Amino acid sequence: MDTQVTSKAERAEKAKKAKRPTRYHSKTDLADRYRVVTRTVDRWRVDGLFPEPDLILPNGAPRWSDELVVAHERAAVGKKGERAA
């Protein structure tokens, strides 16, 4: 009986730790998110203001993971004021 309780507890623990599937954003998704045109997203990449995509599809289309976009947004918070100084 203890083995079943332990396995149920382990399964419950694993379910809590289960990571949600990664969502990937296209350049159009990002442009819509930031209310800019897609060319601006390209410029931000070239200027180093936005990270490089972590996935390139076989047709050459770039994709950014949700984790990368959120991490970039969190890192960018507060830097706007520093830039002016």
pLDDT score for 34: 96
In this predicted structure, the answer to whether residue 2 has a pLDDT above a threshold of 60 is no
Confidence band for 54, pLDDT divided at 50, 70 and 90:
very high
Total-model pTM: 0.67
Q: How far apart are CA 15 and CA 85, in angstroms?
A: 47
Average pLDDT, whole number, for the chain?
83
Long-range contacts of 73-81 (CB under 8 A, 24+ apart): none
Domain ranges, ordered by start, for the chain? 24-84
How does pLDDT run across 40-52, given as a tens digit for each residue?
Answer: 999 999 999 999 9
In this predicted structure, the answer to whether residue 85 has a pLDDT above a threshold of 60 is no
Q: Does the domain formed by 24-84 have CATH 1.10.1660.10?
A: yes
